[in-house]
Amino acid sequence: MARITIKDIAQKAKVSIATVSRVINGNPTVAPEIYERVMAVVEETGYYPNQLARSLKISNSKTIGLLAPDITNEYIAQMVSVIGGVIRPKGYSLILCSAINDRDSEMNYLQLLLEKQVDGIIINTMGFNNAYIAEISHSIPIVALHRKIDHPDFRGDWIDTDIFACAYELTKLLLQKGHRKIASLNGPMRLSTGKMRYDGFLKAMREYGLHVSQEDPYYYEGDFSFQSGYDGAEYFMRLQDPPTAIVNMHGEATLGMLRYFRNHNVDVPGDISLVSVSGIPKSDILYVRPYHYRMQPDTVAYRAATLLLERIESNNTLQNRECCFSMPIVPGNSVRDLS
């Protein structure tokens, strides 16, 4: 007979793996009918609570999961080394999971990490599975990296850079240089990082009496990717009245935008000005150096790993914590002065 796993119990009981974990651990938040359903499956399969408990968390696995949409992203790759350096002296190993920007893959990896009995998770979520992440956060320590878990039941920590201020300051720079027809290339508004960037942009525009919205032709929503930057540049430049400047909300998208401009002989900053509300990999070797903010992957990664270790050591009893870092602006040659 094949070995019964916690995933089998969850599927038979039509609940999540996290709910099975809470039942076995005696979590008082589990509804009585759910408790009875799970325990009925446990008895039916012969997979008794003591065996199941051992498969869950009788002892620490000394592993930590890092789940991101794309671990080949240079920024995330830099963080991996730092996180490993923090947790290794404490006896922990790191499990890397790349969800390849796919909703189902993210969910599958979350369930896999639970099955692997990891002691904690650092996650850069895509924003689709927040309810499930909030549910499992009561059973396993979680630190959200950059993107908030937008759910009232989430237990854990959140760490980010002050991207609201970044978007505000860079938009203000364009306004001070005389630009008024300013477009924004945004990330998904379902993500906290997408919304905060856009809110910073809006604040600066409104301070100059420019009331813009997501219905305006100068608004484009992508997914922070290289391709969305390329597509967004094409969209803006084909408008009957193109913008004079673009606030790009992510470094990868900025690279895609620069590729479009180079391929179509669009001069930066002669034809269009550009700023990037994010770090840009190897910006010093680009043919144009956009104004941007210097990302701090080492600082963010160190703090994320430290927060998670503290939460693990507290048995996940700490109150939710938030940590936000400011970033220095990196001057470039991508803005034309129209004043």
Domain end among 22, 40, 57: 57
Looking at residue 21, which CATH number applies to its domain?
1.10.260.40
* Residue 227 belongs to some domain of the structure: yes
Same domain for 189 and 147: no
Are 73 and 97 in the same domain?
Answer: yes
Boundaries of domain holding 173: 163-295
Query: How much is the average pLDDT of 168-189?
Result: 97
Claim to verify: residue 302 and residue 155 sit in the same structural domain: yes
Q: What is the pLDDT of residues 296-321, one digit of tens each?
A: 889 999 999 999 999 999 999 999 99
Is the domain of 200 the same as that of 261?
Answer: yes
List Cβ neighbours of 159 (8 Å cut-off, separation of 6 or more).
143, 144, 145, 146, 300, 303, 304, 307, 322, 323, 324
Whether pLDDT at 283 is above 70: no
The residue among 176 and 25 whose pLDDT is bigger is 176
- Is 78 within 8 Å of 32 (Cβ atoms)? no
What's 270's DSSP letter? T
pLDDT, mean of residues 263-272: 97
Give CA–CA dist 251/225, Å, rounded.
9
pLDDT at residue 282 tops 80? no
Q: Is the pLDDT of residue 35 over 90?
A: no
Q: Mean pLDDT across the stretch 47-57?
A: 49
CATH number reported for the structural domain that contains residue 134 in this entry: 3.40.50.2300
Residue 23: inside a domain, yes or no? Answer: yes
**Are residues 192 and 281 both part of a single domain?**
yes
Kindly provide the b/e burial profile for residues 91-103, where b requires at least 16 CB atoms within 10 angstroms of the residue's own CB.
ebebbebbbeeee
Residue 52 has what pLDDT? 45
* DSSP letter assigned to residue 34: H
Least trusted range by pLDDT, from 55-64, 73-82, 217-226, 311-320: 55-64
Tens digit of each residue's pLDDT (9 = 90 or more) over 82-101: 999 999 999 999 999 998 87
pTM: 0.77
In terms of domains, do 235 and 123 share one?
no
335 within domain boundaries: no
User: Is 88 domain-assigned?
Assistant: yes
37-41, 93-97, 121-125, 332-336: least confident range: 37-41
> Is 1 a domain residue?
no
User: Are 259 and 317 part of one and the same domain?
Assistant: no
* Percent of the chain scoring above 70 in pLDDT: 92
Check whether 156 has a pLDDT greater than 90. yes
* Residue 338 resides in a domain: no
**Is residue 128 assigned to a domain?**
yes
Which residue, chain included where needed, has tokens 């008895």?
Answer: 43
Judge whether residue 325 has pLDDT over 80: yes
| Residue 50, pLDDT above cutoff 80 | no
**The pLDDT of residue 220 is above 50:** yes
In a domain, 337, yes or no: no
Domain check: are 120 and 167 in the same one? Answer: no
Instruction: Tell me, yes or no, whether 152 and 190 share the same domain.
Output: no
Whether the Cβ atoms of residue 285 and residue 220 lie closer than 8 Å to each other: no
Q: For 185-210, how does the pLDDT look when each residue is reduced to its tens digit (9 = 90+)?
A: 999 898 888 899 999 999 999 999 99
- Looking at the 3D structure of the chain, how many domains does it have? 3
Query: In whole numbers, what is the pLDDT of the chain averaged over residues?
Result: 89
Domain boundary among 57, 84, 99: 57
**Residue 39 and residue 118 share a domain:** no
Same domain, 73 and 105: yes
State whether 181 and 262 are in the same domain: yes
> Is 93 strand, coil or helix?
strand
Written as six digits, the tokens of 278 are 């994010």
pLDDT class of 38 with cuts at 50, 70, 90: confident
